[in-house]
Structure 1
Amino acid sequence: MKEQKFVVNALLRVSLPWKNTAKNGLTTNIRIFSFCALAFFILSFTSSAQVKIEKTPDAGFKMSVDGKPFELKGVTFAMPIKEDSIEASFKELQNMGVNAIRNWGCGNDTQLLLDTAAKYDVKVLLGIWMRHGRSGAEGDDNFNYVKDDKGKEKIFNESIKWVNKFKDHKALLGWCIGNEVILNIGPEDEKVAYAQFLEKVCSEVKKIDPNHPIFSAGAWTIEWKYWKQYTPSIDVYGVNTYGWGATALPDELKKSGIDKPYVLTEFGPRGEWDAPKDSNGLKIEPSEKEKVDTIIQGVPKMVKANKECLGAFIFNFGRSTDHGGVWLNFKMGDSYRPYYWAIREVYTGQKAPNACPEIHEFTIPNSVVKPEDWVPVVLKVSDKEDKDLKISFNCNYREKGSRQDRDAVKALNSRKNDDGSYSVQAPKDEGLFKIYAYCQDSYPNLSIAYTSLFVTKQGSNAGEPGQKAQLPLFVFDNTTPQTKLPYIPSGLMGNFKDMKHNMECTDNPHSAPNCIEVAYSANGEWIGLAWQSPANDWGGEKPGGFDLTGAKTLKFWARGKEGGEKVKFGFGMIGREKKYFDTAKKETADLILGKEWKEYSIPLDGCDLRRIKTGFTMFFGGQGRPITFYLDDIRYE
């Protein structure tokens, strides 16, 4: 409050030296009125807001600011904080219906951020950065909370400095101290030491600033048990979660016995860490429609419907054009992504004033090529208002190089053919690339689609195609002798000495007279089994496999002996660096088997099936007990 007193005293010195006479009475009244108005404006701009969180019997947890209900409509904020651009950013926030932003740390530009936020009546959940214990998605730090006492003292003093500096700012909503720190610490004793240190910081912040709640952000619920035991000063649990996982949070809260509210401190479409892979092994980014649906459907179901949830900060309001920016930013440069308009709709109820381009298809039929080859692409796109769209193509290579290199999105050479189709020139380097199609209208709205391209000096003709298969092709059935089956279960991996597989089990087969029984006697480690053609060809040195072009699904039946057995299934395993590789590979997530037979299927849309040498795979880890499960009727059709 020192700044406020200084301003008021200065006003008094400037405005009060007058004589109270009838002659200048009018002037005196005007001066008094002007002074009061100006003083009120300054005090209202700089005085601290009081933020309270209360639990009601029926409505659950509620937040209020200065005694008025506050429905949090937030986004994370990573825009440049500069005098010449920050006003435009906050006008965008107003347009979206956003009333709160979250950042990750304080710096020299925080004052400008808070002042501008106050001007536009936007609250700020102000981040205080806690160092991480190992390299991760957030950076490459390596701090030890057990051993580095001097480092902890520096973090503590720096944190308190920021709290003292900004605790009385009107724009302040609360303090978010730490982001995914437990996730980015390895040893258990260091996790505990961090949680205890976090309590030291949080408890001191409470003493200094009783008017604002304390948050901390963690990946999913990983940090909850540590906060519950060691960091009681946290008022609100922050959860960083993407996709539809947040539907489980109310149950997780009940299981944990925690009686505190939570906020989705980061929320958005499914992230790369949770994404399945395509036939080339590339993580599949959600489509623009999937991203929009996550917001339009997810916020009402996962945020507003839960009494323990105070709201969400949707990730991310930034301008970066790198791999993460394409995946999760709702603006890129000055362009609006469909995701932007979804947030605006869910926060204001208003539809987009201009439709985004709709990409119906983007594929590369020949997805294995030589460096710098020209490659035809299939791109089908439409726009309700614009006929002439700006089309461009870019690529990302995530396999090698520095963090910056792996994140970079670079332009590809492209050309429009006489028939209106497009071709792109493959990168000069070998490896697996993510290829982007950018479709921009004049608004400007920007829609992006994605596919994969594998670049190798051998090109798409590496090796020979497999033997043409007659569909349906059975990897296992009950009528074909084992010696005549197309694939042999010869690929034993992991702790295979403790696994037995019986191809002639008669214990309740799905189709008589027999099925496959897999029994694993160990409690730990992991095991894998691959059906190969030819048998034991681990290095891809021999021709073989089958051309399964035309197959739509890989189907199989499975059941557990007791139920609850967790197993992954799939096909394709030999990498493209080998001479005779699997031209596609795909696997399920962990399937939890029931005691009754159930049919599962793996869709093959978009898979290059010209040579599948590894026709079926299964992988599972030790589950604390011996497990047995059964398979039957494995086939491509």
Structure 2
Amino acid sequence: MMRVSLFLWGCTLSAALNAAPVKVEVVPEGGLKRGGEPYFIQGAGGDGPLKLLKTRGGNSVRTWGHEGLGAKLDEAHALGLTVAAGIWLEPECSWFSYSRPEHCDRQAARVKQIVTEHKDHAALLLWGLGNEMEGDGGNAALWKQVNRLAKLVHETDPAHPTFTALAGISDLKAKGLNEHAPDLDLVGINTYGALSGLRETLAKLGWKRPWVVTEYGPRGFWEVGKTSWGAPLEDTSTQKAEFLKMAATKALGPGATGGCAGGYAFLWGQKQEASATWFGLLTEDGAATPSVDVLQELWSGQKPANRAPAVDPLRCDQAGQTLRPGQKFSAGMVAQDPDGDVLTFDWRVLSAHGARDKEGRELTPPAHPAALLEVKGSNASFAAPAQPGEYRIYGYARDGQGGVGTANFVIRVSQP
């Protein structure tokens, strides 16, 4: 049995690797053609389950780097998905400068090696040359290197277009791209709170070239209100879904034109960034938030058979306040399930901040289970942790069908 299974898996993998590449073209008036047919990107970026992405109506996944790219391409191909393959490019820093030819030469050699290795894969859609490495956009040497890399990719792989992903778009960035990177096929734009006004922004800039939204999601932690000590206040999963539906419909909704090739929602999976739930469309255990339901409806035109619970902001008089170590407080969660499923509730207390890895990414902060004293239905009682610091209290409403609603608030603990 094992030998048969391994043989069949090997045949599937071999078929994926040996399938002919599919030519992708940028249409001058905007959008893509893949294999000669119009192709509008309805995708997400991240390492969440691709089978679920396909089931929900997605057609593409984005990566930021090439690590594990071969396996990602194989899995996507087996599911009928495509991949926007990212190649990480260095920002200006102490050990890399776009004004140093030797640095740029090494970077170009690395890019060519990656493209050569994966260019013939049938699931490949686009090459992403860097992500948010542009700074304020005023570095002409950087844009010239991006253009050099785009030409290099075209020479190595004529079948797949290129983009670079910007942290929003501005006059200075548009100017740099237009003056120094004419060979780049599309501009990728990462945008969150400004997604609903993106088309108006591009019109004001006089942007004429094709574009794709390479990251979009809830309002970012830099775009929301804050506590008195500066901690960002996260929207509930329901508020995020409502914002996503409004903003994505305006920018990427049915019949979207004007140079747009589609977009990638952020993040397909879960990660710690400002909080444990800020950007993840899924939770750690793979449960789907209401934003996934919104995406399914946008992508497929169909409402999901099961919808995630809707939640209100957590009820707690001490939310956003400074407490004494050991001080008791309680919180409540109000949730409704649109399908009438019976809901269960669980709570977590985590430090608001944790360590970072060697690449600067946030690691999951320490949990404080002793701070959770009792759970009664949708209510819970707590004791503030003994160690002074900042903490997030998370509430989860689960429908037992793979859907979840999330909300949290922040407290600060200080010695009297």
TM-score class, shorter-chain normalisation, is: 0.7 to 0.9
1:284 equivalent in structure 2: 233
**1:92 counterpart (21, 27, 52):** 52
- Equivalent positions of 1:337-356 (< 5 A) are 337-356=289-308
Q: Which letter does structure 1 place at the counterpart of 2:180? A: Y
**1:78 counterpart (42, 47, 55):** 47
- Equivalent positions of 1:165-244 (< 5 A) are 165-183=117-135, 188=138, 191-222=139-170, 223-243=173-193
Q: Per-residue CA shift, 1:505-559, capped at 9, x if unaligned?
A: xxxxxxxxxxxxxxxxxxxxxxxxxxxxxxxxxxxxxxxxxxxxxxxxxxxxxxx
Q: Which letter does structure 1 place at the counterpart of 2:217? A: G
3-state secondary structure, aligned to 2:267: strand
TM-superposed CA distance for 1:418, in Å, is: 7.3
- Equivalent positions of 1:509-528 (< 5 A) are none
Cα 1:105–1:455 shift into 2, 3 Å: same
Q: Per-residue CA shift, 1:72-113, capped at 9, x if unaligned?
A: 11111234xxxxxxxxx2221211111111111112x21111
**1:431 counterpart (374, 380, 389):** 389
In structure 2, C-alpha distance between the alignment counterparts of 1:443 and 1:405, rounded to whole Å: 30
Contact 1:376 1:424 in 2 (8 A): yes
Cα 1:247–1:373 shift into 2, 3 Å: closer
- Higher RCO, Cα 8 Å, sep 6+: 2
Q: Which letter does structure 2 place at the counterpart of 1:430? A: P
In structure 2, C-alpha distance between the alignment counterparts of 1:378 and 1:234, rounded to whole Å: 51
Contact 1:358 1:447 in 2 (8 A): yes
Where do 5+ consecutive residues of structure 2 fail to align? 1-10
In structure 2, C-alpha distance between the alignment counterparts of 1:446 and 1:113, rounded to whole Å: 27
Cα 1:293–1:382 shift into 2, 3 Å: closer
Contact 2:31 2:262 in 1 (8 A): no
TM-superposed CA distance for 1:44, in Å, is: 9.7
Q: Which letter does structure 2 place at the counterpart of 1:163? A: V
Q: Which has the higher strand share?
A: 1
3-state secondary structure, aligned to 1:152: helix
Q: Per-residue CA shift, 1:422-467, capped at 9, x if unaligned?
A: 2112122223333221222312322111212121111xxxxxxxxx
Q: Based on CA coordinates, which of the two structures has the bigger radius of gyration?
A: 1
Cα 1:339–1:325 shift into 2, 3 Å: farther
Q: Per-residue CA shift, 1:144-174, capped at 9, x if unaligned?
A: 2224x43322211110001111111111111
2:6 equivalent in structure 1: none
**2:22 counterpart (49, 55, 70):** 49
TM-superposed CA distance for 1:252, in Å, is: 3.4
1:64 equivalent in structure 2: 33
Contact 1:48 1:172 in 2 (8 A): yes
Cα 1:420–1:348 shift into 2, 3 Å: closer
Q: Per-residue CA shift, 1:237-286, capped at 9, x if unaligned?
A: 1000002x134333433443442111000011111121221455321112
1:408 equivalent in structure 2: 365
Cα 1:428–1:192 shift into 2, 3 Å: farther
In structure 1, C-alpha distance between the alignment counterparts of 2:247 and 2:366, rounded to whole Å: 29
**1:101 counterpart (61, 65, 68):** 61
TM-superposed CA distance for 1:388, in Å, is: 5.0
Q: Which letter does structure 2 place at the counterpart of 1:111? A: G
- Identity across matched positions, percent: 24
The CA RMSD measured in Å over matched residues stands at: 2.7
Cα 1:421–1:197 shift into 2, 3 Å: closer
Contact 1:355 1:385 in 2 (8 A): no
Q: Which letter does structure 2 place at the counterpart of 1:275? A: V
3-state secondary structure, aligned to 2:235: coil
2:352 equivalent in structure 1: 397
**TM-score (normalised: structure 2):** 0.85
> Is 1:454 aligned with 2:412?
yes
Contact 2:345 2:378 in 1 (8 A): no
> Is 1:362 aligned with 2:314?
yes
- Equivalent positions of 1:464-613 (< 5 A) are none
In structure 1, C-alpha distance between the alignment counterparts of 2:258 and 2:128, rounded to whole Å: 21
3-state secondary structure, aligned to 2:64: coil
In structure 2, C-alpha distance between the alignment counterparts of 1:420 and 1:115, rounded to whole Å: 43
1:379 equivalent in structure 2: 333
In structure 2, C-alpha distance between the alignment counterparts of 1:246 and 1:388, rounded to whole Å: 33
Where do 5+ consecutive residues of structure 1 fail to align? 1-37, 80-88, 135-140, 459-637
Contact 1:285 1:327 in 2 (8 A): yes
Cα 1:311–1:151 shift into 2, 3 Å: same
Q: Which letter does structure 2 place at the counterpart of 1:445? A: G
